[in-house]
Amino acid sequence: MASAGRREVILAESARLFSERGIAATTIREIGDAVGLNSGTLYHYFSSKDAIVSEILVCFLTDLVERYDAVVAEPETARTRLGRIVRVSLEVADMHPYATEIYQNEFANLSTLPRYTEIAAAVESSHDAWFNVVEDGVRDGEFNSGVDIFEFQRMMRECVFMSVRWHRKTLAQDVDSLTETLTTVFLNGFVPAPQPGSTPPPPPTGRRRAAKKTATEPPAPRGSAKSTEAAASSDDIRAELDSLRTELRAIREAIAERPDAG
């Protein structure tokens, strides 16, 4: 009877244990204890321990890809869509509180899982969503191409999912501020010009860590050396930098306008 929700309870408790202790370190008996069932009974619902892992990941990734696909297709600017991807990532992670951590911790060693092909395909699809939106933004001039596209989107994507771990306990409440922080940190370093209208808001000033100085040294010494030696030639260098940038831009545009430009 209770078998209706039993499967889901097993999945939920397993996910929690897997993320807390690791998959290999979590035993079937521990899962049984957490659910309130004998370990043998679990095999009435799942054919193996790995099958539980696979189902956890497939459920999470299916939800994620489905919502990514909707966002990517939106007729919005790349910045808007990228912000939505961040938000969707956090929301889906909130619906699957432990799956993202399991995936992050152990994906590298999960290639022998039952439905691994399905899982890998979903992972790749989710990665494509990020890449395509960032690529669109660069092509349209909305983002800066001074930083390698692939490198950038991978950093941002992984940072978003690490943030899930860091904010797991309060993720639902933190979605807004986290989305804002992530897009501000990454995009204000990635857009060509600063937004005149939307300058970064006054500090949300979240938590402050009890910053203890390292036992050896009080790191006071940042000091006056700021721009002393660089000051003399600084203007000349900046001038040359600007001219180089201008020339580079002209050349790039010339190349881009060529009919057979690649």
Partner DNA sequence: GTCTATAGATAGATAGAC
Partner DNA sequence: GTCTATCTATCTATAGAC
* Contact yes or no for 108/29 (Cβ under 8 A): no
| Least spacing, CB of residue 58 vs DNA, in Å | 17
| Least spacing, CB of residue 52 vs its own copies, in Å | 17
| For its own copies, the closer CB: 2 or 231 | 231
28 binds, among its own copies, DNA, none (CB under 5 to 8 A by kind): DNA
| Least spacing, CB of residue 60 vs its own copies, in Å | 16
Separation of alpha carbons 8 and 45, rounded Å: 10
Torsion of CA 63, 68, 73, 78, to 10 degrees: 160
Separation of alpha carbons 166 and 180, rounded Å: 16
CA proximity to 95, closest of 60, 134, 43: 60
User: Between vectors from CA 126 to CA 67 and to CA 23, what angle results, nearest 5°?
Assistant: 105
Residues in contact with its own copies, shown as a per-residue x/- string from 199 to 238 under the rule CB under 8 A? xxxxxxxxxxx-xxxxxxxxx-xxxxxxxxxx-xxx--xx
Residues from 137 through 196 that contact its own copies (CB under 8 A) = 138-152, 154-155, 158-159, 162-163, 166, 181-182, 184-190, 192-195
Which residue type is seen at 134?
Answer: V
- With b meaning 16 or more CB within 10 Å and e meaning fewer, what string describes 4-39? eebeeebbbbbbbbbbeeebeebebeebbebbebee
| For its own copies, the closer CB: 45 or 161 | 161
| Least spacing, CB of residue 61 vs DNA, in Å | 22
- What does the block give as tokens for 29? 């008996």
238 binds, among its own copies, DNA, none (CB under 5 to 8 A by kind): its own copies
Residues from 31 through 50 that contact its own copies (CB under 8 A) = none
* Size of residue set near its own copies by CB under 8 A: 120
Q: Which of 5, 16, 20, 89 binds its own copies (CB under 8 A)?
A: 20
| For its own copies, the closer CB: 2 or 193 | 193
Which residues bind to DNA, rule: CB under 7 A? 1-3, 6, 26-29, 32, 36-41, 43-44, 47-50
Q: Does 244 interact with its own copies (rule: CB under 8 A)? A: yes
Residue length of the chain? 262
| For DNA, the closer CB: 7 or 154 | 7
* Contact yes or no for 2/36 (Cβ under 8 A): no
Separation of alpha carbons 30 and 38, rounded Å: 9
172 binds, among DNA, its own copies, none (CB under 5 to 8 A by kind): none
Residue 156 CB burial class (10 angstroms; 0-12, 13-18, ≥19)? buried
| Least spacing, CB of residue 42 vs its own copies, in Å | 20
| Least spacing, CB of residue 18 vs its own copies, in Å | 11
| Least spacing, CB of residue 239 vs its own copies, in Å | 9
